[in-house]
Amino acid sequence: MSISRRDFIKYTSVAALGTGVLGCHHEMNVSKSAGIMMPKSGKRIVVLGGGWGGATAAKYIKQEDPSIDVVIVEREDNFISCHVSNWVIGGFKTMKDITISYDALIKNYGIKVVHAEAKELDAEKKQLKTDKGILEYDLILVSPGISYRYETIAGLNSAEAIKRFPAAMKAGPETVMIAERLAAMKSGGSVLVAVPPTPYRCPPGPYERVSLIANYLKKNKPGSKLFVFDSNDDVVSKGKLFKAAWKDYYSDIIEYVPDNYIKSVDVGTGKVVSEKGEITPDVANIIPAMKANQTAFDLGLMSKEKDLWVRAEPYTFESYKYKDVYVVGDATHNGAVGGVPKSGYVANSMAKVAASAMARKLNGQEPLVPTYVNTCYSLVNEDEGIFVSAVYKYDEASKRIKKISGGVSPTMNALFGRHAQDWATSIWSDMLL
């Protein structure tokens, strides 16, 4: 890769910023001529994405072998948890509760965090190009999460429309937008939540959100209605449990319409046209269909032309496209890895498998037989929780992940609600502390 004068200045300014940009206390060298940041000396694994998959992988690689240099590339300053972000929308948690810094990973494990935007991958040279410079690696793990397919809904693919109809399936400004709009709405108003077609991130996520918005309306905005337009023919996850809660608590608030996808939106009037009818809600949360994060496409990780998710083999999570490039989390292709939900717990499990396989590979060892777990807790109001949980193994015959044991909570109750809170604390600590 050659380097322009403009890039040269950019890289130099990284060096000048020093600790600020890298979020860590070491002096970082920037080799100016090659545009290479922090030239590699020993074994190095670059981790693209400091979300559930990436943060877990970085920590577990270091636990496996502290001598490996681990560098996380993450565009955001802090980790913001998607899980519990529905509780912010529901009005009983704040963004502060779900924002966690990367400081402990840096301090406790010597992980380096580069806040930069990954742009291109040179799998031959083993280099990741970012807007702050080039990083060399021996192995790279990519856990970039999801992107929305705005283009599947007419009228939605513009900055203005996205603001009018936010999705908020990545926790952040859109989460706050929805919470604020609900708070500002008059009593007797109408809210729309549109559920995307599967596969999408966090199967129970939209339904937990529906429950908690209904709970909020019940307490704060009497007479309001919540319309749920579901692209799927039924509630995708924990259906019986969610529907029981809606019937018991929110029967006069929630209007659930299955098999009803969104056709178009009008940013001017706020009108939403669905297959079964039109509505102009006061507050709209439209979750479009999803695909692997655009970054996965930009890095060239798709092995087939029309693929929307990255194919990786689930024994180590090495991608089918490139050797030494591993992919975990929501971005993975269900057909290739097997039928696991796109959840944070699964991303955390996959990352541990990949971390172990990668560290062992750099030390000339064979990977261990993998194992995986999933759990998704959801709240149906401030107190009561429900969950789904499963244990998976690697199936030799199909070369895919297969369920061994699984089930859902028999009912909703306050103890499961407590467990839901504790689960969040546990898994955050497992990723970031």
Ligand X SMILES: Cc1cc2nc3c(=O)[nH]c(=O)nc-3n(C[C@H](O)[C@H](O)[C@H](O)COP(=O)(O)OP(=O)(O)OC[C@H]3O[C@@H](n4cnc5c(N)ncnc54)[C@H](O)[C@@H]3O)c2cc1C
Judged by the rule CB under 6 A, the positions of this chain that interact with ligand HEC are 373, 375, 389, 419
Q: Using the rule CB under 8 A, is 419 a contact of other proteins?
A: yes
The answer to whether 136 and 44 are in contact (CB under 8 A) is yes
Binder of other proteins out of 371, 382, 383, 395 (CB under 8 A): 371
Contacted by 410, from other proteins, ligand X, ligand HEC, none: CB < 5 to 8 Å by type: other proteins
Number of residues that bind other proteins (CB under 8 A): 38
Nearer to other proteins, 60 or 79 (CB): 60
**Position closest to ligand HEC via CB:** 375
Task: Please identify, using beta-carbon distances, which residue of 104 and 273 lies nearer to other proteins.
Answer: 104
Calculate the alpha carbon distances from 195 to 160, 192, 337, 400, 420 in Å.
Answer: 21, 10, 24, 28, 23
List residues near ligand X by CB under 6 A. Answer: 49-54, 73-76, 82-83, 85-86, 117-118, 143-145, 169, 201-202, 205, 293, 295, 329-331, 342-345, 347, 376-377
Q: Is 429 in the site for other proteins (CB under 8 A)?
A: yes
45-64 positions binding other proteins, by CB under 8 A: 59-60
Whose structure tokens read 């999803």? 290
- Classify residue 253 as exposed, middle or buried by CB count within 10 Å of its CB (0-12, 13-18, 19+): buried
Q: Which of other proteins, ligand HEC, ligand X, none does residue 51 bind (CB under 5 to 8 Å by kind)? A: ligand X
Among 43, 352, 361, 400, the residue binding other proteins under the rule CB under 8 A is 352
Of 1-30, binders to other proteins (CB under 8 A) are none
Instruction: Please say which residue, 60 or 200, places its beta carbon nearer to other proteins.
Output: 60
User: 211 near 242, Cβ under 8 Å?
Assistant: yes
- Determine the Cα–Cα distance for residues 371 and 314; give it in Å rounded to an integer: 10
Among 117, 255, 275, 422, interactor with other proteins by CB under 8 A? 422
Select 242 or 377, whichever has its Cβ closest to other proteins.
Answer: 377
Instruction: Determine how many CB atoms are found less than 10 A away from the CB of residue 265.
Output: 24
Q: Does 363 bind other proteins (CB under 8 A)?
A: no
Nearer to ligand HEC, 191 or 355 (CB): 355
Q: Which is nearer to ligand HEC, 241 or 283 (CB)?
A: 241
* Comparison of 88 and 424: residue with beta carbon closer to ligand HEC: 424
Q: Using CB under 8 A as the criterion, which residues of the chain lie in contact with other proteins when the complex forms?
A: 59-60, 345, 348-349, 352, 356, 368-369, 371-373, 375, 387, 389-393, 404-407, 409-410, 415-416, 418-419, 421-423, 425-427, 429-430, 433
